[in-house]
Amino acid sequence: MLNTTRKLRKRFIEFINQFSAEELNSIPVGYNNNIIWNFGHAIVTHQLLTYGLSGLTPPMDPKWIQMFRKGSKPERSLTEDEINELKYLALYLLEKLDEDQVAGIFRKYESYVTGLGVRIHTVAEAVEFNNVHEGVHLGYALGMRKALQYEEEQQEEDIVQKEAVVVSQ
C-alpha cells in the first residue's frame, strides 16, 4: 500500500540532498515557505491523516507536528541535524505505519474532508490521498528551486553591473 509513498519520499530526499541547509531554508520571493518546510509538511500531514484521524498519537516528536502542520510556516531555519532527522523519519515512519497496520492498531477513523474537497473515510484512503498531497508539495519544492536559481542569477547580474559602474567611474 505504501509503494508509491516510498517512491515519492525517496525522490523528495534525492531532491533535497542537492541543496545546502541554507538553500533549503531560504524562502523565495513570492512564497511563504521553503523547500524543507514542504518536505516536513508532507511527512507531518501523512502522520496526521493516518494516526491522528484514527485517534492515535503520531509516532514522532510533537515539535515536528507544530512546525509543519497545515497552516504553519517556517519560524526559523532548520539545522543540518534536523534536516537529517526529517530524512530519516520520512522513510522510518512508513515502515512504522506498515508494522502498525499489520498489528491492527487502526480500528477507527474520523472521516475528514481535505482542502481539495476529498472525503477520506479510512487509513487506506488517507494513504492514497496523501500521495497526491506529497506530489503537490514536491511540485512546490521543484518550483522553489527554479525561483531560487532565478534570484541567484539576478544577484550575480546586480554584482556585475555594480562592478561595471565602479570601473567606469
Three-class SS of 33-49: CCHHHHHHHHHHHHHHH
Is pTM beyond 0.85? Reply is: yes
Give the residue, 11 or 168, on which the prediction is more confident: 11
Give the residue, 43 or 156, on which the prediction is more confident: 43
How far apart, in whole angstroms, are the C-alpha atoms of residue 74 and residue 27?
Answer: 9
**Residue position matching grid coordinates 524562502:** 27
- Amino acid of residue 15: F
Assigned fold of 3-168: Four Helix Bundle (Hemerythrin (Met), subunit A) (1.20.120)
Contact 154, 38 (CB under 8 A): no
**pLDDT (tens digit per residue) in 97-134:** 999 999 999 999 999 999 989 999 999 999 999 999 99
